[in-house]
Structure 1
Amino acid sequence: MRRPALATAGAATALAALALAACGSSNDSSMPGMDHGAKPSGSSSASVTPSVSGMPGMDHMADGSGLADAKDGYRLTSRDTTLPAGKQAAYRFGVTGPDGKPVTDFEVDQTKRMHFYAIRSDLTGFQHIHPTMAADGAWTADLAPLARGSWRMFASFTPNTGTGKGKDFVLSRTLTVPGTQTKTPLPAAAGSTEADGYTVTVKAELMAGVAQPLTVTITKGGKPVTDLQPYLDTYAHLTAFREGDTAFAHLHPETKVNGAHGGPELSFHAELPTSGNWRLFLQFRTGGKLHTAALTLRVG
């Protein structure tokens, strides 16, 4: 997988009309204690009126880390600004191109045309979903229950036609889950974490803006894990979000898939743009089950 280009500052106010029709989606993440342990429902249906982007608070300006809803004429649109707490819910969205029309042709990247992420503002809630698209370009992501608070929805994609053909985009919008939010302090930086009985150890000394190697080792019961199954054309998927603003980064896997089983050591290309605390989410599959491990990494 190519490393996605991160979104930069968005364009000025513009109208983007897109009739969104709902489709089913699949949630590939289930992480205990991350506010999304329940499985999402199958599919839901509804229709919404055209989306109007360019309203105050719609994240048009950003620092180049996926925190804008528009780049190079491409725009992430959605009428959903709130979703209910504690319930499975569908987030409906679309992507419009420089001509203002819905984009319907996307390249397949790591077996999917769209990678969608939901991250809570305190980095305790995380979902990585592969939504489905209707013929008119309307996407629907069925989210597992969300905790109260502020969330940011990221869409990572590569147009297969138009001026953006072959370019990687990461665009995002925010939404609110109404109710009193209980903020959880970010866990301290650590070199290892536990998930479903597995121990995930990360070795890296990262400096902001510098490409450096990052190694992940997975063990269970003190023994190396060698039965990692391919997941999204790799043995593990790794994303990071920055404390404070939830800026996005994808860490490119360098370990090649060689057969049905891999591990225990995995290599990644890491280049985090700014210093501070970043929350890493590693997803890997064993025995047909997807596991998600999270830890805090300090970038100097």
Structure 2
Amino acid sequence: MLAVALAACGNSSDDSMPGMNHGAKASASPTAPSAPAGGGHDMDAMKDMASDDGLAVQKDGYRLSTTSPALPVGKAADYRFTITGPDGKPVTRFSVEQTKRLHFYAIRSDLTGFQHVHPTMAADGTWSAPLAALKSGTWRMYASFTPAGGPGKGEDFVLSTAATVPGTASDTALPKASDTATVDGYTVTVSGRPMAGMAHPLTVTIAKDGKPVSDLQPYLDTYAHLTAFHADDQALAHLHPETEVSGSQGGPSLSFHAELSKPGDWRLFLQFQTAGTLHTAALTLNVG
């Protein structure tokens, strides 16, 4: 039995998950590699995944530097940062991944308040991420990118750092587990049995009014975008889509390549678009 809890959020009416109104053009997504054979955990793979959990501020000479360690409470603000390379200079050349040169995530320490935005970069390499109003507490800011030149050319990086929003903070507990939930009138069903340190398929099926949907629009080079954060330390994992974009509409079932580095609860954020509206579901997934 897959332990998954889903909690709905609206696009503009729920301020706990703002900043996710990014459209994308359709194009084919590459198929992710198949799960490895064998019944035991691959320890080398686990170490590789742990080293790429997005919790480091620097890796292989690349560093996330910010001038915004503190952000205002309750109002929109730009989070400004640079990615510096091994030579200490700001990186200005990035490869396009899922229609963007850089993906930026903000998540609160209790795994609420998720935002996924796409910053703009100035000529000097300074990025500005437009964040909607933030609640008081500790947040983590992630930059996901691939350098288009230099020693890290072609390598995927996820770097992150903490940010503080002043005021009195209180945590929200993760919801209880369930295989299905209603999100903005859509019923989302999740199936699969992910195990820590192993590659596994994960399938999401979406229906509305009891009927499978077939009008999912392309969003960031796929029919749905899925990101996961570990409940204990906020490690990040991007679950890669295996369902290729083959036209302007898709659904109802979507396949993902899931590699989660450690056991325990993960908070998943599924984003999909219909009729120009982006929907986001938050899922608590227990990984053995």
d(CA) in 2 for partners of 1:119, 1:31: 18
Counterparts of 1:279-294 in structure 2, within 5 Å, are 279-294=267-282
What's 1:253 paired with? 241
Q: Is 2:59 the partner of 1:71?
A: yes
- The answer to whether the 8 A contact 2:11-2:277 is kept is no
- The answer to whether the 8 A contact 1:34-1:124 is kept is no
**Deviation of 1:222 (Å):** 1.1
**Deviation of 1:70 (Å):** 0.1
Q: Which digits, 9 at most, give the CA deviation of each residue in 1:194-241, with x for residues without a partner?
A: 221111111011110010100000011111111000011110000000
Q: Is 2:18 the partner of 1:30?
A: no
Matching residue's letter, 1:263: G
Identity %: 66
Could you tell me which runs of 5 or more consecutive residues in structure 1 were left unpaired when the two chains were aligned: 1-28, 41-61
Matching residue's letter, 2:57: D
Q: Which has the higher contact order (CA 8 A, sep 6+)?
A: 2
Could you tell me which runs of 5 or more consecutive residues in structure 2 were left unpaired when the two chains were aligned: 1-9, 22-49
d(CA) in 2 for partners of 1:39, 1:216: 20
d(CA) in 1 for partners of 2:127, 2:76: 16
d(CA) in 2 for partners of 1:248, 1:191: 22
What's 2:191 paired with? 203
What's 1:59 paired with? none
What's 1:107 paired with? 95
What's 2:120 paired with? 132
Q: Is 2:228 the partner of 1:240?
A: yes
- SS of corresponding position for 1:250: strand
TM-score (norm 2): 0.84
d(CA) in 1 for partners of 2:97, 2:257: 17
Counterpart among 218, 234, 237 of residue 206 in structure 2? 218
Matching residue's letter, 2:272: F
- The runs of at least 4 aligned residues of structure 1 exceeding 2 Å deviation read 29-34, 36-40
Distance 1:243 1:164, change over 3 A: same
Counterpart among 163, 166, 173 of residue 161 in structure 2? 173
d(CA) in 2 for partners of 1:291, 1:88: 21
In the alignment of these two chains, the number of paired residues is 251
**Deviation of 1:193 (Å):** 2.4
d(CA) in 1 for partners of 2:265, 2:17: 23
- The answer to whether the 8 A contact 1:116-1:131 is kept is yes
**Deviation of 1:271 (Å):** 0.8
Q: Which digits, 9 at most, give the CA deviation of each residue in 1:44-100, with x for residues without a partner?
A: xxxxxxxxxxxxxxxxxx854100110000000002111111100110000000000
Q: Is 2:79 the partner of 1:98?
A: no
d(CA) in 2 for partners of 1:170, 1:199: 31
d(CA) in 1 for partners of 2:234, 2:14: 19
Q: Is 2:219 the partner of 1:231?
A: yes
- SS of corresponding position for 2:55: coil
**Deviation of 1:191 (Å):** 1.3
- SS of corresponding position for 1:84: coil
Matching residue's letter, 2:140: R
- SS of corresponding position for 1:118: strand
Counterpart among 68, 87, 111 of residue 80 in structure 1? 68
**Deviation of 1:31 (Å):** 6.7
**Deviation of 1:32 (Å):** 5.2
- The answer to whether the 8 A contact 2:70-2:165 is kept is yes
Distance 1:66 1:35, change over 3 A: same
